[in-house]
Amino acid sequence: MPTCAIIVPCYNEAARLPVEVFATYIPRHPNLHFVFVNDGSTDATSTVLKSLQSRIPTRITVLDNTINQGKAGVVRQGLLHALDNTTLEHIGFWDADLATPLETIEEMLSILAERPQVWMVFGARVQLLGRHIERKTHRHYLGRVFATIVSIMLGLPIYDSQCGAKLFRRTPHTRSLFAKPFVSRWVFDVEILARFLRLPNTQRPAPNDGICEYPLPIWRDIDGSKVKPLDFFRALMDLFKIGRDV
């Protein structure tokens, strides 16, 4: 029986979704269940997802929305859907283009298994020797500026809040992190951290114990990303809204 659900937000991914990679990987990992959430796509994404589901029906759920909510909305929808399954010990979300390979899920789950105080594991795109991080130069530097602002705002030395590979331990307070709709359509990852910090100290571990950033072995900037340079400035405006509540 699966013990971890992975949410995969999808918007106009019919031509980009690596269907065969998912179809090969999922049967080999019985501890995982995948929840694909179609965010009102205008292409054949719904058809592609349902075809994939038909190949592995017991291990894939498809949530098919007709109206676009933005990534924040569908990730939240998928996470809340997964939390309704009381047998799950972990939940998370993963970018549909597999910029982070699926094999990394097990590596991040091992951190949760070995360190019971950790509530959440965030993939971090850190360029180190022996790691293969392929990221466009302008996105790298915009990301460093953004991460610095987030660190100052939250008072956390976080390196990469926006990587689309994240896992969470199920705790009595996990649902509260996703209970309310997110303010931002894109930088909701920062909101998750802010909500964690707002929990009383008696209900959560200290941030340095409860949050673990995992330097990814492999991450590739896949062509066709929905994130554009202009979104950086929209994200800064969203940070201001989130910061008012921290």
Domains of the chain: 4-243 (3.90.550.10)
Which alpha helices (H) appear in the chain, and where do they start and end? 19-25, 45-55, 71-83, 104-114, 137-154, 188-198, 207-210, 230-243
Torsion of Cα atoms, 216 then 221 then 224 then 226, to 10°: 60
- Cα–Cα distances (Å) from 80 to 131, 174, 177, 201, 243, in that order, read 33, 10, 10, 24, 24
Residue-level pLDDT at 143:
87
Collapse the DSSP code of 57 into the 3-class scheme (helix H, G, I; strand E, B; otherwise coil) and give the result: coil
pTM of the model: 0.94
Beta bridge partners of 123: 214
> Which residue stretches of the chain have pLDDT < 70?
224-230, 232, 244-246
Residue-level pLDDT at 227:
62
141-186 pLDDT tens trace: 888 889 999 999 999 999 999 999 999 999 999 999 999 999 988 8
Residue type, 183: V
Residue-level pLDDT at 245:
61
98-118 pLDDT tens trace: 999 999 999 999 999 999 999
Which one, of 53, 82, 225, 235, lies nearest residue 167 by Cα? 82
Collapse the DSSP code of 38 into the 3-class scheme (helix H, G, I; strand E, B; otherwise coil) and give the result: strand
Structure tokens at 221: 């900037």
Beta bridge partners of 6: 34, 92
